């Protein structure tokens, strides 16, 4: 059975995928993950998850080009310039 291992490098950090181990059950999987990804104190915590429990989603179509919910949908430079000129606060 294959187990995916996620590790947290320090307290407060996000868990990131580290790799996988092959183990017959959770006890062995935890032991192998501990040796493989934590024995030099490079991790403060691990998540050990059966591969089958992971559902990958990798399709992100954007047919409607929804720029309005992203920062790159807002270009303020020209509008700000105009507004400053209107207010008489534009730098010379």
For every residue of 4-66, DSSP letters joined together read: EEEEESSTTSPPEEEEEEE-SSHHHHHHHHHHHHHTTS--SEEEEEEGGG---------TT--
**CB nearer another protein, residue 17 or residue 81:** 17
Alpha-carbon radius of gyration of the chain: 24
> Which of 12, 24, 61, 88 lies at the binding interface for another protein (CB under 8 A)?
24
Q: Is 20 an interacting residue with respect to another protein (CB under 8 A)? A: yes
**Of the listed pieces 30-38, 65-73, 77-85, which binds another protein according to CB under 8 A?**
30-38
Measured from the CB of residue 74, what is the shortest distance to another protein in angstroms?
31
**CB nearer another protein, residue 18 or residue 46:** 18
């Amino acid at each position: 059975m294959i187990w995916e291992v996620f590790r947290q490098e320090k307290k407060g950090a996000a868990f990131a995928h580290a790799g996988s181990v092959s183990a017959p059950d959770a006890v062995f999987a935890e032991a192998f993950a501990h040796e493989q990804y934590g024995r030099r104190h490079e991790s403060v915590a691990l998540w050990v998850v059966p591969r089958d429990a992971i559902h990958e989603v990798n399709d992100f179509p954007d047919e409607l080009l929804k720029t309005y919910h992203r920062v790159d949908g807002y270009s303020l430079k020209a509008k700000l310039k105009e507004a400053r000129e209107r207010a008489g606060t534009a730098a010379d």
